[in-house]
């Protein structure tokens, strides 16, 4: 009996060791790119734990913030590539393909962007078009050959399928999207170009994104992929609707990219929805129930959600070009600070000490 027990234990240890010997990069990376968003401290080389995880488990990365217009274009006529250039060389050092996020977004644009000079008066249509083109030409030109693809337009469609009434849309109409894709392609003909958005499982949004892809293609413009951000929760989105979107986008002839994957386990405040970064709710203790750790039942629920998602990605591995997590470790996920500041969330695959969570092995097994 004793010997049998020992054999069983050894087998279990051996089995988990051999699984541990594999990485996400080796398993998931056989079928598609697997990446993470990297913050400025990490790409500046200040977090050795992040270097190790990225090198072992990922084959691509995206800058969490430093390639957004507010960072690259702090004042009119001034471009600041210092942090973004460090991100690119960080990726090169670690053997990660870099993707660019993002060229055109109503959010995280610098203060001067939508105003006329330093007055509060709104910018004119002509000037905004000029700024848009100049930004894309300069930025895409700067990173030519260093990024494999760009989120050209981020979040231009509302959940009901209408165009977001952003300053871009209000001044330039939907043509701003065509201008953006055309200019990006001219600036780097080898870069892939993507449309990226959240709540992509919503049927009206799905249909509108499909219409947009078809429209761009009819105009002869290049679009290679659609990014489904995937800021998910334990019970949203409905995976059947999410799968329908994967299938619908693939049927439009583009790659499906899971671009900002994380899973929120904390209770959402009333009125919260989607991933619009402008949402901001006041801290209340009841919204931060797991500050000292996740109860076992919650952990199990979370693990189940991860495996269900990755089973779906495996099923659609021929249509999915990339899976990018929105962060490296729970320690620095944006979901600790959004939509409520000061919470403790558990949204990623590596814990606060940059250790792989047990569910990583289950994901590896799905893709083995
Ligand atoms: C987030 C970053 O993670 C935060 O650090 C920042 O304060 C706000 O933006 N959709 C996107 C990403 O496309 O750029 C956002 O990133 C998250 C939602």
What does the domain layout of the chain look like in residue ranges?
2-366
**Three-state secondary structure of the chain:** CHHHHHHHHHHHHHHHHHHHCCCHHHHHHHCCEEEEEECHHHHCCCCHHHHHHHHHHCCEEEECCCCCHHHHCCECCECCCHHHHHHHHHHHHHCCEEEEEEEECCCCCCCCCCECCCCCCECCHHHHHHHHHHHHHHHHHHCCCCCCEEEEEECCECCCCCECCCHHHHHHCCHHHHHHHHHHHHHCCCCEEEEEECCCCCHHHHHHHHHHHHHHHHCCCCCCEEEECCEEECCCCCHHHHHHHHHHHHHCCCEEEEEEEEEECCCCCCCCCCCCCCCCECCCHHHCCCCCCCCHHHHHHHHHHHHHHHHHHHHCCCCEEEEEECCCCHHHCHHHCCCECCCCCCCCCECCCCCECCHHHHHHHHHC
User: What pTM, to 2 d.p., does this model score?
Assistant: 0.94
pLDDT, mean over the chain: 94
Residue nearest to atom 3 of ligand 1 (CA): 334
Average pLDDT value for residue range 130-140: 98
Is pLDDT above 90 for 120? no
**Which pLDDT does position 111 carry in this prediction?**
86
**Which pLDDT does position 219 carry in this prediction?**
98
Catalytic residues: 155, 260
**Which pLDDT does position 199 carry in this prediction?**
98
Average pLDDT value for residue range 291-297: 97
Mutate to test the pocket of ligand 1, among 40, 65, 105 (most ligand atoms within 8 A of CB): 65
- Tens of pLDDT, residues 222-268: 999 999 999 999 999 999 999 999 999 999 999 999 999 999 999 99
- Tens of pLDDT, residues 140-198: 999 999 999 999 999 999 999 999 999 999 999 999 999 999 999 999 999 999 999 99
Residues lining ligand 1, judged by CB closer than 6 Å?
Answer: 64-65, 154, 229, 260, 275, 277, 334
Mutate to test the pocket of ligand 1, among 40, 63, 64 (most ligand atoms within 8 A of CB): 64
Average pLDDT value for residue range 76-96: 97
Residue nearest to atom 7 of ligand 1 (CA): 334
**Which pLDDT does position 20 carry in this prediction?**
54
State the pLDDT confidence band at 18, using cuts at 50, 70 and 90: very low
Residue pair 180/153 in contact (Cβ under 8 Å)? The answer is: yes
Closest CA to 298 of 230, 233, 232: 233
Closest CA to 59 of 259, 368, 323: 323
State the pLDDT confidence band at 119, using cuts at 50, 70 and 90: confident
User: How much is the CA Rg of the chain, to the nearest whole Å?
Assistant: 21
CA of 39, closest atom in ligand 1? 5
CA dist 274 → 27, 147, 171, 232 (Å): 30, 28, 25, 9
Is pLDDT above 80 for 21? no
Residue nearest to atom 17 of ligand 1 (CA): 277
Ligand 1 centroid–CA 65 distance in Å is 7
Is pLDDT above 80 for 357? yes
**Which pLDDT does position 15 carry in this prediction?**
45
Ligand 1 centroid–CA 332 distance in Å is 12
Tokens of 316: 């659609």
**Which pLDDT does position 4 carry in this prediction?**
55
Ligand 1 centroid–CA 76 distance in Å is 23
Is pLDDT above 90 for 347? yes
**Which pLDDT does position 117 carry in this prediction?**
74
Ligand 1 centroid–CA 64 distance in Å is 7
Mutate to test the pocket of ligand 1, among 101, 277, 324, 325 (most ligand atoms within 8 A of CB): 277
CA of 151, closest atom in ligand 1? 13
Ligand 1 centroid–CA 101 distance in Å is 10
State the pLDDT confidence band at 14, using cuts at 50, 70 and 90: very low
CA of 259, closest atom in ligand 1? 13
Residue nearest to atom 16 of ligand 1 (CA): 64
Ligand 1 centroid–CA 341 distance in Å is 14
Residue nearest to atom 13 of ligand 1 (CA): 154
CATH level 3 topology of 2-366: TIM Barrel (3.20.20)
State the pLDDT confidence band at 116, using cuts at 50, 70 and 90: confident
Average pLDDT value for residue range 58-76: 97
Average pLDDT value for residue range 76-101: 98
Quick one: what percent of the chain has pLDDT higher than 90? 92
Residue nearest to atom 15 of ligand 1 (CA): 277
**Which pLDDT does position 71 carry in this prediction?**
98
User: How many beta carbons lie within 10 A of that of residue 71, not counting itself?
Assistant: 18
State the pLDDT confidence band at 8, using cuts at 50, 70 and 90: very low
Residues in contact with 291: Cβ distance below 8 Å, sequence separation at least 6, in sequence order? 343, 344
CA of 37, closest atom in ligand 1? 3
Ligand 1 centroid–CA 19 distance in Å is 33
């Amino acid at each position: 009996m004793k010997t049998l027990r020992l054999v069983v234990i050894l087998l279990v240890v051996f089995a988990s060791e051999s699984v541990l010997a594999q990485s996400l990069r080796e398993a998931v990376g056989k079928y598609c790119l697997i990446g993470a968003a990297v913050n400025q401290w990490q790409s500046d080389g200040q977090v050795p734990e992040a270097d190790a995880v990225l090198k072992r488990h990922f084959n691509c990365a995206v800058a969490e913030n430093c390639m957004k217009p507010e960072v690259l274009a702090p004042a009119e006529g001034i471009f600041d590539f210092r942090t973004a250039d460090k991100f690119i060389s960080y990726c090169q050092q670690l053997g990660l393909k870099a993707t660019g996020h993002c060229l055109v977004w109503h959010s995280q644009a610098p203060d001067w962007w939508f105003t006329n000079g330093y007055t509060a008066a709104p910018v004119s249509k002509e000037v905004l078009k000029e700024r848009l083109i100049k930004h894309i030409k300069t930025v895409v030109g700067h990173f030519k050959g260093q990024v494999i693809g760009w989120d050209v337009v981020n979040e231009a469609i509302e959940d009901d399928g209408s165009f977001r009434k952003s300053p871009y849309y209000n001044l330039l109409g939907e043509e701003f999207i065509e201008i953006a894709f055309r200019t990006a392609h001219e600036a780097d003909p080898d870069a892939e170009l993507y449309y990226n958005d959240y709540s992509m499982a919503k049927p009206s949004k799905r249909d509108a994104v499909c219409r947009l892809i078809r429209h761009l293609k009819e105009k002869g413009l290049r679009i290679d992929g659609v990014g489904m951000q995937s800021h998910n929760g334990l019970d949203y989105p409905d995976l059947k609707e999410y799968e329908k979107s994967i299938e619908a986008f693939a049927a439009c002839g583009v790659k499906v990219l899971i671009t900002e994957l994380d899973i929120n386990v904390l209770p959402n405040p009333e009125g919260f929805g989607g991933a619009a970064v402008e949402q901001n709710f006041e801290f209340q203790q009841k919204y931060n129930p797991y500050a000292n750790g996740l109860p076992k039942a919650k952990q199990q629920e979370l693990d189940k959600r991860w495996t269900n998602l990755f089973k779906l990605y495996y099923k659609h591995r021929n249509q999915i070009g990339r899976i990018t997590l929105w962060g490296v470790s729970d320690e620095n996920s944006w979901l600790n600070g959004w939509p409520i500041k000061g919470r403790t969330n558990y949204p990623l695959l590596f814990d606060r000490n940059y250790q792989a969570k047990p569910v990583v092995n289950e994901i590896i097994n799905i893709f083995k």
